[in-house]
Amino acid sequence: MKSEPLSYLGKDGGPWEIFTEQVDRVVPYLGRLAPLAESLKRPKRVLIVDVPVRLDDGSVAYFEGYRVHHNTARGPAKGGVRYHPEVTLSEVMALAGWMTIKNAAVGLPYGGGKGGIRVDPRKLSPGELERLTRRYTSEIGILLGPDRDIPAPDVNTGEREMAWMMDTYSMNVGRTVPGVVTGKPIALGGSLGRRDATGRGVFITAAAAAEKIGLQVEGARVAIQGFGNVGNAAARAFHDHGARVVAVQDHTGTVYNEAGIDPYDLLRHVQEFGGVRGYPKAEPLPAADFWGLPVEFLVPAALEKQITEQNAWRIRARIVAEGANGPTTPAADDILLEKGVLVVPDVIANAGGVTVSYFEWVQDFNSYFWTEEEINARLERVLRNAFEAVWQVAQEKKIPLRTAAYVVAATRVLEARALRGLYP
């Protein structure tokens, strides 16, 4: 009997439909596991909760909250919680599915989950936000637990919200459980090295890719789009390993210096003036010229859909390392492939963050905390292994790294599913 498609999203599938299409595209490479791919097109569980909050003016506002476990074959559900007025069930489901893929691609012992509240957090006071977070945490508490489901920060949530979530869960179960969320402040069981983790990961995977194509990091030129947490940590890592960061672009402008920009110095400028514009030790450049710069590494670390069919043909870099999520459109991907530009896909390139989240959770289990050196060494090992596995599959099957990452991930998830069998 054929399984019916999911009914609860209605006619317009939204982002979830895009996710299932991505799954379909990987199926031809899954061999004997292909029949199990259907299990990826159905989330394991979906919880919709009502989140009433008493506002500062005494009235009560009601918000829609979600928590989705997409797949837990490889371990507990793991994925962030976002606060955004456009959050929908379909989006949360798709993001949960994407976490299943990402965790498996990196080789972390997690399944995929995601949560969200349909709310514009800018319209709430800190007190209202705290009540919202605490009520939401209690409502989804039936799914949470360090061995069941471990939320993390996402859009519009951070250390503050994670601290509230940890406290609420802990109060509800009657003891302190730091391992129930990651991305906590250090004082509450957060991990060292988390802030720089994603940027470091971008460098580690880009360097691993460079090794494969015989490209030297030392002396190589690097252009970075975005100078937030990810962009500036990546810039520092490249700089520390002897590469030259020649161009940086952010929302305020683009700066260029062929001799190289010291990212530590630029960071001081950005902290003072709010952006790279006006940085005195480099020249300004029109934004559009950024993409065609003569560099070896290009790191899009800002927003999604930055490399499009409009600018992809201008790119002269040999390696594009995706620090942001989804910075390359599928059409641009095809152009880069044709031009022979190696794209290190977001799934592994920006996985440093979730990897250190994983380390945080492991440390919380043990109540024993590692040094920053230990964390960085382990981060490098995890990401290098992840890259190597994806590279091997890409070579074997003659497919781009992005497809290979999905193949590796889907294979790992379905392998676990096959080994575990169908309950009962």
- Any known ligand binding at 189? no
Binding segment (CB under 8 A) for another protein, from list 18-26, 70-78, 80-88, 198-206:
70-78
Q: Which of 114, 212, 281, 305 is catalytic?
A: 114
The only residue of 159, 262, 374, 415 in contact with another protein, by rule CB under 8 A: 415
Burial 46-58 (b: 16+ CB within 10 A, else e): beebebebeeeee
The only residue of 169, 361, 387, 391 in contact with another protein, by rule CB under 8 A: 361
Under the binding rule (CB under 8 A), the answer on residue 32 touching another protein is no
What are the distances in angstroms from CA 349 to CA 192, 198, 387? Answer: 20, 8, 9
What are the distances in angstroms from CA 55 to CA 163, 165, 295, 418? Answer: 21, 19, 52, 49
Under the binding rule (CB under 8 A), the answer on residue 193 touching another protein is no
Rg (alpha carbons) of the chain, rounded to whole number: 22
Under the binding rule (CB under 8 A), the answer on residue 241 touching another protein is no
> Minimum distance between the CB of residue 148 and another protein, rounded to whole angstroms?
4
- Any known ligand binding at 114? yes
Binding segment (CB under 8 A) for another protein, from list 188-196, 223-231, 318-326, 359-367:
359-367
Token pair, residue 268, equals 């001081």
- Any known ligand binding at 357? yes
Stretch 82-121 residues interacting with another protein (CB under 8 A): 109, 111
The only residue of 381, 392, 395, 397 in contact with another protein, by rule CB under 8 A: 381
The only residue of 65, 75, 116, 345 in contact with another protein, by rule CB under 8 A: 75
- Any known ligand binding at 67? no
Under the binding rule (CB under 8 A), the answer on residue 281 touching another protein is no
Under the binding rule (CB under 8 A), the answer on residue 423 touching another protein is yes
Stretch 331-350 residues interacting with another protein (CB under 8 A): none
Under the binding rule (CB under 8 A), the answer on residue 412 touching another protein is yes
Stretch 219-238 residues interacting with another protein (CB under 8 A): none
Closer to another protein by Cβ: residue 305 or 381 = 381
- Any known ligand binding at 138? no
Under the binding rule (CB under 8 A), the answer on residue 173 touching another protein is no
Stretch 128-147 residues interacting with another protein (CB under 8 A): 145, 147
Is 114 designated active site? yes
> Minimum distance between the CB of residue 144 and another protein, rounded to whole angstroms?
10
Comparing CA positions, the residue from 377, 379, 343 lying closest to residue 199 is 379
Closer to another protein by Cβ: residue 56 or 147 = 147
Contacts of 156 (CB under 8 A, 6+ apart): 82, 83, 84, 121
- Any known ligand binding at 66? no
- Any known ligand binding at 156? no
Q: Which of the residues are catalytic?
A: 114
Which residues of the chain form contacts with another protein (CB under 8 A)? 72, 74-76, 109, 111, 145, 147-148, 361-362, 365-366, 381, 412, 415-416, 419-421, 423-424
* Residues tagged in the binding site annotation for NAD(+): 198, 229
* Residues tagged in the binding site annotation for substrate: 78, 102, 357
* Residues tagged in the binding site annotation for L-glutamate: 80, 99, 114, 135, 153-154, 167, 171, 194, 357, 420-421, 423
